[in-house]
Structure 1
Amino acid sequence: MDTKKLDLNLLATLEVLLEEKNVSKAAARLHLSQPAVSTQLSRLRDLFNDQLLIPARRGMIPTAKALELRAPLRQALDHVRDTLTTHQSFEPEKADLTVMIASTDYLQSVIGLSIIEAIRKHAPGIKIGLRNLEPYRLDEQFMNGEVDLALMTQEEAPSELRTRHLYDEVYVLIGHKDHPLLSDSMSFEDYLSLKHIVVSLDGGNFLTPHDLALKELGYSRNVVLSVATFLIVPELVAKSNLVALVPKRLVNGRTDLKIVSPPMSSTGFSVGMVWHERTHNHSAHRWVRDVINQIMIA
């Protein structure tokens, strides 16, 4: 490759094309005309001696060479961006970037809106993308720039990622507000006999860590329903005689539910921020992490 022909703007265009896989969408993001992006794509093809993106029925498909380039290209451009921003004082009100945050639906529900409001109050040009957490793909997503920050249990994060503790969560037992057996003084036997809902993120599993702990002690509870998300559990419980163990923050302020401590304590979990080295020193991403940390401390 003749590096004299190298144009940083071309590489920035390639980065966006690989993300959008569509010339029109890439042009909109880059604030360029479609013919201008098509011309840049032609120059990129000459530069790398590869088609890079092949027209398909919907959008474009990256070639094997393009897929190989995606991660190192993103890292190289991130280093350039970090170098520029590190030597500038960060001004939130002038920031213009997108931050992709991965988390469970529970966390999107309990703190997602607070994060969005706090960030956009001071930095209206920052766009927040919330996406579902995929723990098994997280390392790859960080490397490819699909995710900038994850909110999750720190112990489940890949060891090479950076983390910061946010808060500790506990479980409470919920039922409809007039449930006759639900109380802080209920017996252990009554607790086991209640009709329980459990949450299995993979779907269809009736044994949670709490049930495994009960099993080791020689007990089992009456589990009648398994669902794939915490978000529908309060509504199911409010309209039936079913009960469920749920994170306390999920039901704070609910007046249509009876909320008690379970007779057998259920191990809670910690929530933290997780991020990759590529954004560690980036001033805008540092600011976003600090804002989230302040929200949780307040």
Structure 2
Amino acid sequence: MDNKRLDLNLLATLEALLEEQNVTRAAARLHLSQPAVSAQLSRLRDMFNDPLLIPAHRGMMPTTKALELLTPLRIALDQVRETLITHQHFEPAQASLTITIACTDYLQAVIGLAVMNELRRQAPGIRIAIRSLEPPRLEAQMARGEVDLALMTPEEAPKVLRIRPLYDENYVLVGCWNHSQLSEEMTIEEYVQLEHVIVSLSGGDFSTQVDQVLQTLGYRRNVVLSTSSFLFVPEIVAHSRFVALVPRRLVAQRSDLKVVESPIKSLGFKVGMVWHERNHGHSAHRWVREQIARIVGCVSK
């Protein structure tokens, strides 16, 4: 390889081709025409003396050499991008920036509005995209720059991503405001006899981790409704005789619900902030992370 003729644009094209494994999608990502990307792929093949990508049933498949190149290529290009960006001092009031945040519906409801309002107040030129959290795809989405930041349970995050804990959440039992069977002194025997709504994030399940805990204790609760979102649950129980376990912060401002402690102790989860190494040193992204940590700290108290 003649290093004197090295073209960084070609390496950026190679990164896009290896990640997308499709010339058309790579061209769209690079804002180039398909013929231009095909011509660059031909030059890359000559440069590395390898086909790099070969036709497959759907799109293209990387060769062994291409797979070996991908990780060091990403690292090298990220370092170049970082060099071009991080020397600039970030000024929120003058910044023009788009941030994509992935999180669950619960977190959108509990802290989403506060985060969006405060970031926009300090940085009027910022644009914020909120998208649904997809843990199995998160690492790839962050590597491709499709997601900049995720708010989620840290235990569910891919190990290669950076994590910052934010707060601990616990579950409370809720029902309509005049539900006579809800009380702080409720026993597990009384609890399991009620009609329960549960949240199945995958959809359609009538059993959760709570039911596994109950089973070890010799109990089985009466689950009558399964929904895929926490956001609907407060409305459902407010207008029925159903009850549900929900995160405390989700119903903190609801005066139309009766809220009692769960008879099953130690039910809860952690919430954290997750990001990719490629964004770790970026001054704007670092500022956004610090602001979110501060905002969430105030909201979650």
Per the alignment, residue 167 of structure 1 pairs with: 167
Question: What does 1:118-267 align with in structure 2 at a 5 Å threshold?
Answer: 118-267=118-267
Three-state SS of the structure 2 residue aligned to 1:130 is: strand
Q: Is the contact between residue 13 and residue 26 of structure 2 (CA under 8 Å) also seen in structure 1?
A: no
Asked if the contact 1:21–1:62 (Cα under 8 Å) also holds between the matched residues in 2, the reply is: no
Q: Is contact 2:165–2:273 with CA below 8 Å preserved after alignment?
A: yes
Shift of 1:126: 2.4
Unaligned runs of 5+ in 1: 28-35, 53-60
Between 1:279-288 and 1:123-132, the stretch displaced more is 123-132
Could you say what secondary structure the match of 1:145 adopts? coil
- Closer/same/farther in 2, CA of residues 23 and 264 from structure 1, 3 Å limit: closer
RMSD: 3.2
Gaps of 5+ in 2: 46-50
| Residues in 1 aligned to 2:29 and 2:74: alpha-carbon distance in whole angstroms | 19
Q: State the secondary structure of the residue aligned to 2:191.
A: helix
Structure 1 counterpart of 2:108: 108
Q: Distance in 2 between matches of 1:163 and 1:24?
A: 31
Say if 2:13 and 2:40, in contact at 8 Å, map to a contact too: no
Contact 1:210 1:266 in 2 (8 A): no
Quote the Cα distance in structure 2 between the aligned partners of 1:202 and 1:101. Answer: 21
- Quick one: distance in 2 between partners of 1:152 and 1:172? 19
Distance 1:288 1:140, change over 3 A: same
Q: Distance in 2 between matches of 1:111 and 1:40?
A: 44
Count of residues in correspondence between the two structures = 284
Deviations 1:138-182 (CA, angstroms, capped at 9, x unpaired): 222222222221111112222222111101101011111121211
Secondary structure (helix, strand or coil) at the match of 1:231 reads helix
Is the aligned partner of 1:96 residue 2:63?
no
CA separation of 1:169 and 1:142: change in aligned 2, threshold 3 A = same
Query: Kindly tell me: are residues 5 and 123 of structure 1, through their superposed partners in 2, closer, same or farther at Cα, counting changes over 3 Å?
Result: farther
TM-score relative to the length of structure 2: 0.79
**Does the 8 A contact of 1:10 with 1:40 survive in 2?**
no
Equivalent in the alignment of 2:268:
268
Q: 2:277 matched to 1:277? A: yes
Aligned identity (percent) is 55
